[in-house]
């Protein structure tokens, strides 16, 4: 099978995660009725969309594991975290509105996924992120 070349958005060398992801999905045959799962959000999307991406990072992002990439500006001092919101009994709170207060003081609103998880938040260095149930204003 002919190997396609990745078009990198950056001039840096691609990490193993991006290279392997691209080498796997760029050579798949068309599958118009197949669906793929974003492991981070739990959302399904058309599998053929993966072939439309020109690099492994974009594919990994669509599949929900781009946080494992080591070539896109990821420094050793970068932290990447998401939170699971639960009730007092430990049960996940799916589709729940929340507000995250970032280290900068910015408030970011979101809705948890089906497992009660927030989106991922990245910081440079160990920093506190406060998460509140409901929408909070500054």
Give the range among 48-52, 63-67, 97-101, 124-128 with minimum mean pLDDT: 124-128
94 found inside a domain: yes
115 found inside a domain: yes
Whether 62 shows a pLDDT value over 70: the answer reads yes
Mean pLDDT of the chain: 82
pLDDT digits (tens, 9 = 90+) for 70-84: 777 555 556 778 899
Token pair of 94, please? Answer: 């799916």
Q: How many domains does the chain have?
A: 2
Cβ count within 10 A of residue 97 = 15
Per-residue pLDDT at 9: 42
| Secondary structure class of 121 (helix, strand, coil) | strand
Per-residue pLDDT at 7: 46
Q: How many whole angstroms separate alpha carbon 111 and alpha carbon 95?
A: 6
Going by their DSSP bridges, the two strands 130-133 and 35-37 should be labelled as: unpaired
Is-contact 71 16, C-beta < 8 A?
no
| CA dihedral sign, ordered 76, 56, 12, 124 | negative
Domain that holds residue 86: 79-133
3 found inside a domain: no
Q: How many whole angstroms separate alpha carbon 138 and alpha carbon 78?
A: 26
Per-residue pLDDT at 76: 55
Whether 87 and 125 map to the same domain: the answer is yes
Q: How many whole angstroms separate alpha carbon 84 and alpha carbon 130?
A: 13
Per the document, the length of the chain is: 138
pLDDT digits (tens, 9 = 90+) for 6-19: 444 444 577 898 99
Beta bridge partners of 133: 98
43 found inside a domain: yes
| pTM as predicted | 0.50
10 found inside a domain: no
């Amino acid at each position: 099978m002919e190997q396609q070349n990745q078009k990198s958005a950056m001039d840096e060398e691609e990490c193993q995660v991006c290279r392997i992801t691209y080498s796997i999905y760029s050579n798949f045959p068309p599958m118009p009725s197949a669906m793929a799962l974003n492991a981070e959000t739990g959302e399904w999307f058309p599998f053929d969309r993966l072939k439309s991406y020109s690099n492994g990072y974009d594919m990994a992002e669509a599949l929900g594991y781009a946080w494992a990439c080591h070539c896109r500006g990821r420094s050793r001092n970068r932290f990447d975290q998401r939170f699971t919101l639960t009730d007092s009994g430990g049960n996940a709170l799916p589709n729940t509105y929340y507000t995250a207060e970032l280290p900068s003081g910015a408030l970011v609103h979101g809705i948890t996924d089906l497992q009660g998880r927030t989106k991922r938040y990245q910081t440079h260095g160990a920093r506190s992120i406060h998460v509140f149930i409901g929408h909070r204003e500054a």
